[in-house]
Every structure is written in structure tokens, then in C-alpha cells.
Amino acid sequence: DIQMTQSPSSLSASVGDRVTITCRASQGISNYLAWFQQKPGKAPKSLIYAASSLQSGVPSKFSGSGSGTDFTLTISSLQPEDFATYYCQQYNDYPLTFGGGTKVEIK
């Protein structure tokens, strides 16, 4: 199975901060990488697919990059509605696997 490792597991940031979350795959996955946002008690929401493509309706403050084994999700200017947990997920091979999540909290 492909292991997905996210870092950090949590972070504290202020409104307006630029935030970067990293995700590393245990083997190469090309660009078959997605990012999701999840708020408490809610279903995950798709943000990014194919490592860097923005899902329809998602604001451009979210961006993704990377290929192979190393990927990043960046939020350019953190807003109150962005405080949530973020997950990466590989869909290069079965079983599909997720990172452990990064909880973004208010400083």
C-alpha cells in the first residue's frame, strides 16, 4: 500500500497568513493527488485534484503543487472559514489512501 504522510499534523495561524501543508507519498504517484477540506461534523469537500487543478467553485486562494512523491497545498491568505482539517489522498493505485490530516487552528 502507498503510505501518505502529511506534515504538520496541526498548525496555528492567524487570519491573513500564508499557510503551506506538505504531503509525501511512500512511492511515486505521478500527479494522482487530491486535497480535501473537512470541517467538524461535515463531509469532506474536494479542493484540488491532479495535484494542482482547482475543483470547480473553489476559490483561487487555494493552490496545489508537486509531482512524484512530494506535494504541497497552499492557502495564500487564511480566512476564518478556512480553519478546518485538510487531507491529501492518492489515487494512483489501489487501495486508495489518505494522509493523516492537518488541523489548521486559529492562533
Partner 1 sequence: QVQVVQSGAEVKKPGASVKVSCKASGYTFNSYYIHWVRQAPGQGLEWMGIINPSDSRTRNAQKFQGRLTVTRDTSTKTVYMELSSLRSEDTAVYYCALEYNTSSFDFWGQGTLVTVSS
Half-sphere exposure for 84 (CA within 13 Å, toward CB): 21
Tell me the C-alpha distance between 6 and 22, whole Å.
6
Identify which of 17, 52, 20, 14 has the alpha carbon closest to the alpha carbon of residue 33.
52
> Which of 17/38 has CB closer to partner 1?
38
Residue 103 interacts with partner 1 (CB under 8 A): yes or no: no
Helix (H) or strand (E) holding 58: none
Considering the complex, what minimum distance in angstroms separates the CB of residue 72 from partner 1?
17
> Which of 17/55 has CB closer to partner 1?
55
Binding mask 56-85 for partner 1 (x = CB under 8 A): ------------------------------
Considering the complex, what minimum distance in angstroms separates the CB of residue 89 from partner 1?
7
